[in-house]
Amino acid sequence: MRLFASGIRKLSRRPATFVTFGLLVGLLVLIVLAVGATANSTMGNGANQATRAAAAKELVTFPGAYDRMLAFITGLGGLFAMIYGAAIAGSEWSWGTLKSAVARGESRVRYLLASFASISFMIAIGVVVAFGIAIVAAIVGAHLAGLSTSGLGDTATLSGLPARLLKGWFAVVEEAALGFTIATLARSQLAGIGAGIAFYFGESFASIFLPDIVKFMPFSVANAALATGSSGGFGGGAAAASLPADQALVLVGVWLVGSLVVTSIFADRAEITG
């Protein structure tokens, strides 16, 4: 518990926390407002313009906007979470702070798992706050597009929202775990972040050619676990082929646990030098 609390304190003062969150929310708000403001634009020919306007309006129309905002957060947010996880784990090696803790008699596995638990907690806060901001942005976007927000209070959607947020958090945590593990194996922030981004886009790219394999991969299962019914998040290859939500959720857990097991085994055996 001491380590977990310490992890929260460290992350809450870490610039990477605010930069990651700020980027996600900034992009989200910018896109939603831009979509709302241009939904009724008259640019383009008739058919295209109508299609684009319909898609834009769908993004900010409630109650569907709830799912689409969550999909955005788990899609692009998943990439950011992976970078965040890699940055935190990598810096423990790069800065030598893991070394200091181990030299004090701390268990390597316990230390790293507590660090990851702290990351998961911060992600939970981040998902909830980002979702709140996204909904506000969607409301503003709807007004800009001249749409009604009467669907905001849709009881069926609202009652399922906590469970969907929980699933979204779980999926993002799995993606963070992947970054955490890659950076642990690489023992480096930059290498971890670079490899993680390559993995993310590599999976997205591979989904074009190997959809039946890629649908089992971590970013795809994370997107499929939400089963939003929308056209998927940003990247991750979810749109190409996806598993049923329940099955995907189980695989999210498998990837999460697998990542942490690999981290633990590697950390326990690693020689901490430099």
Question: Which positions touch another protein (CB under 8 A)?
Answer: 2-3, 5-6, 9-10, 13-15, 95-97, 99-107, 111, 271-274
Nearer to another protein, 122 or 256 (CB): 122
Distance separating alpha carbons of residues 98 and 273, to the nearest angstrom = 11
Cα distances (angstroms) measured from residue 58 to each of 2, 39, 135, 145, 184: 46, 10, 14, 10, 41
Nearer to another protein, 9 or 41 (CB): 9
Residue 216 phi/psi, 5-degree rounding, is -95, -5
Least distance (Å) from another protein to the CB of residue 77?
23
Least distance (Å) from another protein to the CB of residue 79?
23
Least distance (Å) from another protein to the CB of residue 100?
5
Least distance (Å) from another protein to the CB of residue 1?
9
Which residue shows structure tokens 């890629």?
A: 214
Least distance (Å) from another protein to the CB of residue 192?
17
Cβ burial of 224 (10 Å; 0-12, 13-18, 19+) is buried
Least distance (Å) from another protein to the CB of residue 24?
20
Backbone φ/ψ region at 237: left (φ over 0), alpha (ψ -120 to 50), beta: left
61 closest CA partner among 41, 28, 36, 82:
36
Nearer to another protein, 49 or 107 (CB): 107
Helix, strand, coil share (%) of the chain residues, nearest 5: 80, 0, 20
Both tokens of 87, joined, read 């940055």
Nearer to another protein, 16 or 241 (CB): 16
